[in-house]
C-alpha cells in the first residue's frame, strides 16, 4: 500500500524503493514506476502508430490504382481480403475504420498522455512518482488487452470494424462481428484513460515540489492537467454509448435504431423507436474534446522545446495557460459542428457555429505566442527544435482550414469531402505527431541517458516534412473538387476522375513517408546502444526533470527538489549562463561560478 499512501511524504517513498533491485517482471513488465509505464505506453503507441500507418499505405495503393492487383501484399493477405490480389471494398472499409481508431486511440493519445504525460509530468513537478502508482499500472494493463483485442478483430468472421472510426449506427449495428470487438476494446481503452486521467489530476494538484506554484509550472504540465480533465469528463459518455451500441448489437435493444428499417429488402427484426443521431451526439461529445486531448499535450511539448532552444522565456506564458484552459472549457460546447448536415434546426446550428468561431480565438492566441517566442531568441536548430518549429505553420494550416468547415454555409459544400481529411490530418499528423517527435528527440536523453543521432534526426525531419505535405496539401484540392471521403474507388465519379492524378501523388508521398520512418526506427534503437552519453541536463534546460539523473532511478530525484523561480528563466541579464534552472537556489549561484544577480 505504500504506493498509494505516500502523498505528503514523497521523499520517504523514494528511499523505500531506491535501494533494492526489483525482479525483472516487477521492474519492466508489471512496473509501478511512472517512467517505466510511460515508456511502455510510448513504445506500444509507436508500434501502433506505425501499424496504423501501414494500413493506410495499403489503402493508398487502391486509391492511386483502383482495381489493380497490389504487388506482394495482394497475395499475402488471402482471398477474402484481396480476391485476386485486388483489395475488396469491405476490406478497404476495415482498413479505413481501423486506421482512424488505431491512430487516435491506440497511437496518438497513448503516446501523448500515457507516454509523455506519465514519463515527464512527475519529473517536471518534482514528484517521485504518480499519486497512485498501482492505478497507473492498472491503466496500462487495461489498455494493452484493449489494443490486442482491437487488432484481433481482423481475424473475426467478416473482418474488423468497417463503419468508420465514428461507427455511426445503424450501419455499425448491422455490421459483422468485428464491430462487437471494436466496442469491447473501446470500453477497455476508455476505462484505461479514465484511470490515467484521475491519477494525473491528483498528482499535479497534490505532489508538486516545494515552491512549485501553479504559475511556476512548466506549460507542458498545465496542458496535461487540462487534458486530464477532458479525458475524465468527455470519455464516460462514449463509454456509455459504446455499451448501448453493444446492447443494440447483442441484446436486441434499439437505442440507436428507429422503427421500420429495411436492410437488403428484409425488415429488420428490432423493436425500433431509437435514434441514430443520439449516437452521433454522444460520440462527438467525446470526440471533439478528443481533438484537444490530441493537440494540448503537443502544444505543451512545443512550448518546452521552443523555450529551451530560443534561449528565452516563452512569450505570453500566462496567456498560453489561460488559452488552454479556455480551449478545454469550449471544447465541450462545439461538438455538433460535426453534425451540421444531419438536418438540425437553425438555432442549434447557429449556436454551434458561433461556439466554433469562439474556440478558434485561443488557438490563434497560442500560435501568436509561439511565433512571438521566436522573436528575440538565439535559436538553436537541433532536431527537437526543427520538429517543434515545423509544428507552428503546420498546425496553422490545420487550424485555418477548420474555418470553412466550422461555418455552416461553406460546410454544406465541404462536409465529408477530402477537405476534412486534409484539415484534421494537418492538425494531427504534421501538427501533433511532429510535436511528439520533437518530444521524443528532446526527452530521449532523459529516458535513456543517451542522445539520439542528430544527423539521422535531421534527415528524418526534412524528408518527413516534405513527404507529409505532399500527402495532405493535395487533399484540399480534392475536397474543393467535391470528392467524398471513404470512397473505395474515387474514379466512379467524374469529379473524382478530375483529381485522380493527385491520388497518385499522395500515395507516393505516403509510401515515402513510410520509408523515412525507418530512419527514425534505426536511430531510435541504434542510439540506445551507441548514442553519446549525457549528464543530467544535456540541453541546458531550466525545468525540474533536468535535475534528476539521466535516466532517473526509481524515486526520480537524488535530493528532494525545491523550486526557486519561473519555468523558463533563460538568458537572464547579468548571469554568466544563459539558463537559470528552477531548481538552483540563487545563493548557490545559477549553475555558474561567480555570477550573482
Considering only residues 352 to 371 of the shown chain, the ones binding another protein according to CB under 8 A are 353-354, 357, 360-361, 364-365, 367-368, 371
Residue 14 in grid coordinates? 523514494
Instruction: Note whether 276 binds another protein by CB under 8 A.
Output: yes
Question: Which residues are 160's β-sheet partners?
Answer: 178
Question: Which residues are 484's β-sheet partners?
Answer: 417
Q: Which of residues 420-479 bind another protein (CB under 8 A)?
A: 477-478
Instruction: Note whether 379 binds another protein by CB under 8 A.
Output: yes
Q: Which of 161, 189, 499, 548 binds another protein (CB under 8 A)?
A: 499
# residues near another protein by CB under 8 A: 103
Q: Which of 188, 189, 436, 487 binds another protein (CB under 8 A)?
A: 487
Residue 421 C-beta: closest distance to another protein, Å = 13
Q: Which of 502, 519, 544, 547 binds another protein (CB under 8 A)?
A: 502
Residue 369 C-beta: closest distance to another protein, Å = 9
Q: Which of residues 551-570 bind another protein (CB under 8 A)?
A: 570
**Measuring CA to CA, how many Å separate 186 from each of 111, 151, 194?**
17, 12, 12
Residue 227 C-beta: closest distance to another protein, Å = 24
C-alpha 258/C-alpha 580 separation (Å) is 64
Residue 358 C-beta: closest distance to another protein, Å = 9
CB of 301 closer than 8 Å to CB of 436: yes
Instruction: Note whether 346 binds another protein by CB under 8 A.
Output: yes
Could you give the string, one character per residue 282-321, with x where binding to another protein holds by CB under 8 A and - elsewhere? ----------------------------xxxx-xx-----
Q: Which of 110, 146, 300, 404 binds another protein (CB under 8 A)?
A: 404
Burial of 493 (C-beta count, 10 Å sphere; 0-12/13-18/19+)? middle
CB of 244 closer than 8 Å to CB of 256: yes
Residue 278 C-beta: closest distance to another protein, Å = 11
Q: Which of 59, 183, 392, 467 binds another protein (CB under 8 A)?
A: 392
Q: Which residue number, 27 or 485, has a Cβ lying nearer to another protein?
A: 485
Q: Which residue number, 63 or 209, has a Cβ lying nearer to another protein?
A: 63
CB of 42 closer than 8 Å to CB of 114: yes
Residue 91 in grid coordinates? 476490406
Burial of 185 (C-beta count, 10 Å sphere; 0-12/13-18/19+)? buried
Q: Which residue number, 201 or 268, has a Cβ lying nearer to another protein?
A: 268
C-alpha 101/C-alpha 106 separation (Å) is 7
Q: Which of 412, 466, 521, 535 binds another protein (CB under 8 A)?
A: 412
Instruction: Note whether 251 binds another protein by CB under 8 A.
Output: no
Instruction: Note whether 489 binds another protein by CB under 8 A.
Output: yes
Residue 274 C-beta: closest distance to another protein, Å = 8
Q: Which residue number, 401 or 432, has a Cβ lying nearer to another protein?
A: 401
Q: Which residue number, 417 or 582, has a Cβ lying nearer to another protein?
A: 417
Give DSSP secondary structure letters for 277-341.
Answer: HHHHHHHHHHHHHHHHHHHHHHHHHHHHHHHHHHTSPPTTHHHHHHHHHHHHHHGGG-GGGGGGG
Candidate segments 72-80, 133-141, 268-276, 289-297, binder of another protein by CB under 8 A: 268-276
**Measuring CA to CA, how many Å separate 227 from each of 194, 201, 295, 427, 430?**
11, 9, 9, 16, 20
Residue 334 C-beta: closest distance to another protein, Å = 13
The beta strand positions in 68-154, using DSSP E, are: none
Instruction: Note whether 9 binds another protein by CB under 8 A.
Output: no
SS (H, E, C) 482-551: CCECCCCCHHHCHHHHCCHHHHHHHHHHHHHHHHHHHHHHHHHHHHHHHCCECCCCCCCCCCHHHHCCCC
Task: Give the torsion sign (CA, 110, 113, 114, 116).
Answer: positive
Q: Which residue number, 16 or 489, has a Cβ lying nearer to another protein?
A: 489
Instruction: Note whether 243 binds another protein by CB under 8 A.
Output: no
Q: Which of residues 64-103 bind another protein (CB under 8 A)?
A: 88-90, 93, 96
Could you give the string, one character per residue 109-148, with x where binding to another protein holds by CB under 8 A and - elsewhere? ----------------------------------------
Residue 577 C-beta: closest distance to another protein, Å = 12
Residue keyed to cell 488471402? 78
Q: Which of 12, 83, 376, 549 binds another protein (CB under 8 A)?
A: 376
Instruction: Note whether 486 binds another protein by CB under 8 A.
Output: yes
Q: Which of 400, 459, 473, 504 binds another protein (CB under 8 A)?
A: 400
- DSSP reduced 3-state for 186: helix
Q: Which of 18, 164, 211, 591 binds another protein (CB under 8 A)?
A: 164
* Phi then psi dihedrals of residue 591, to 5 deg: 90, -5
Q: How many CB atoms lie within 10 A of CB 339?
A: 18
C-alpha 437/C-alpha 7 separation (Å) is 32
Question: Which residues are 267's β-sheet partners?
Answer: 262
Q: Which residue number, 28 or 413, has a Cβ lying nearer to another protein?
A: 413
Q: Which residue number, 311 or 458, has a Cβ lying nearer to another protein?
A: 311
Residue keyed to cell 465541404? 414
Instruction: Note whether 542 binds another protein by CB under 8 A.
Output: no
Burial of 174 (C-beta count, 10 Å sphere; 0-12/13-18/19+)? middle
Q: How many CB atoms lie within 10 A of CB 164?
A: 16
Candidate segments 195-203, 234-242, 408-416, 588-596, binder of another protein by CB under 8 A: 408-416
Q: Which residue number, 106 or 307, has a Cβ lying nearer to another protein?
A: 307
Amino acid at each position: 500500500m505504500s504506493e498509494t499512501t505516500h502523498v505528503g511524504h514523497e521523499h520517504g517513498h523514494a528511499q523505500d524503493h531506491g535501494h533494492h533491485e526489483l525482479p525483472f517482471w516487477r521492474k519492466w513488465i508489471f512496473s509501478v514506476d511512472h517512467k517505466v509505464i510511460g515508456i511502455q505506453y510510448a513504445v506500444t503507441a509507436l508500434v501502433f502508430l506505425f501499424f496504423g500507418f501501414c494500413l493506410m499505405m495499403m489503402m493508398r495503393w487502391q486509391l492511386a490504382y483502383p482495381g489493380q492487383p497490389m504487388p506482394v501484399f495482394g497475395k499475402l493477405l488471402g482471398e477474402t481480403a484481396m480476391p485476386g490480389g485486388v483489395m475488396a471494398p469491405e476490406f478497404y472499409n476495415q482498413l479505413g475504420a481501423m486506421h482512424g481508431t488505431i491512430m487516435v486511440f491506440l497511437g496518438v493519445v497513448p503516446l501523448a498522455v500515457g507516454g509523455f504525460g506519465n514519463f515527464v509530468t512527475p519529473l517536471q513537478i518534482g514528484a517521485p512518482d504518480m499519486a497512485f502508482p498501482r492505478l497507473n499500472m492498472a491503466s496500462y494493463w487495461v489498455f494493452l488487452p484493449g489494443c490486442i483485442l482491437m487488432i484481433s478483430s481482423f481475424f473475426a468472421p467478416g473482418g474488423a470494424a468497417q463503419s468508420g472510426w465514428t461507427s455511426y449506427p445503424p450501419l455499425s449495428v448491422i455490421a459483422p462481428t468485428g464491430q462487437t470487438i471494436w466496442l469491447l476494446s473501446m470500453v477497455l481503452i476508455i476505462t484505461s484513460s479514465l484511470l490515467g486521467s484521475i491519477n494525473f489530476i491528483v498528482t499535479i494538484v497534490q505532489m508538486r515540489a516545494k515552491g512549485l506554484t501553479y504559475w511556476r509550472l512548466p506549460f507542458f504540465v498545465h496542458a496535461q492537467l487540462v487534458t486530464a480533465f477532458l479525458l475524465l469528463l468527455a470519455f464516460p459518455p462514449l463509454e456509455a454509448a459504446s455499451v448501448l451500441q453493444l446492447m443494440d448489437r447483442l441484446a436486441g435493444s434499439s437505442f440507436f435504431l428507429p422503427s421500420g428499417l429495411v436492410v437488403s429488402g428484409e425488415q429488420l427484426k428490432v423493436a425500433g423507436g431509437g435514434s441514430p443521431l443520439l449516437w452521433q451526439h454522444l460520440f462527438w461529445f467525446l470526440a471533439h474534446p478528443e481533438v484537444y486531448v490530441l493537440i494540448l499535450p503537443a502544444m505543451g511539448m512545443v512550448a518546452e522545446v521552443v523555450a529551451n532552444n530560443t534561449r528565452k522565456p516563452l512569450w505570453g506564458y500566462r496567456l498560453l495557460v489561460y488559452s488552454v484552459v479556455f480551449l478545454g472549457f469550449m471544447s465541450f460546447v462545439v461538438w455538433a459542428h460535426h453534425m451540421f448536415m444531419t438536418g438540425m434546426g437553425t438555432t442549434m446550428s447557429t449556436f454551434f457555429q458561433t461556439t466554433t468561431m469562439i474556440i478558434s480565438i485561443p488557438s490563434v492566441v497560442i500560435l501568436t505566442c509561439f511565433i512571438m517566442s521566436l522573436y528575440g531568441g538565439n535559436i538553436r536548430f537541433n532536431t527537437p527544435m526543427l520538429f517543434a518549429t515545423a509544428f507552428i505553420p503546420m498546425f496553422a494550416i490545420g487550424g485555418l482550414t477548420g474555418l470553412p468547415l466550422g461555418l455552416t454555409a461553406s460546410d454544406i459544400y465541404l462536409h465529408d469531402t477530402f477537405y476534412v481529411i486534409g484539415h484534421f490530418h494537418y492538425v494531427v499528423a504534421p501538427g501533433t505527431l511532429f510535436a511528439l517527435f520533437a518530444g521524443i528527440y528532446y526527452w530521449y536523453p532523459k529516458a535513456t541517458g543517451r542522445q539520439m543521432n542528430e544527423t539521422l534526426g535531421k534527415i528524418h525531419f526534412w524528408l518527413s516534412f516534405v513527404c507529409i505535405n505532399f500527402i495532405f496539401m493535395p487533399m484540399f484540392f480534392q475536397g474543393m473538387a467535391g470528392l467524398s471521403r471513404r470512397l473505395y474507388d474515387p474514379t466512379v465519379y467524374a469529379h473524382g476522375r478530375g483529381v485522380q492524378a493527385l491520388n497518385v501523388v499522395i500515395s507516393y508521398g505516403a509510401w515515402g513517408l513510410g520509408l523515412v520512418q525507418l530512419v527514425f526506427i534505426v536511430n531510435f534503437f541504434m542510439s540506445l546502444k551507441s548514442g553519446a552519453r549525457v549528464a543530467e541536463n544535456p540541453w541546458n534546460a531550466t525545468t525540474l526533470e533536468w535535475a534528476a539523473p539521466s535516466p532517473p532511478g526509481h524515486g526520480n530525484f537524488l535530493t528532494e527538489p525545491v523550486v526557486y523561480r519561473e519555468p523558463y528563466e533563460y538568458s537572464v541579464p547579468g548571469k554568466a549562463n544563459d539558463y537559470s534552472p528552477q531548481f538552483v537556489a540563487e545563493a548557490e549561484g545559477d549553475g555558474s561560478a561567480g555570477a550573482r544577480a
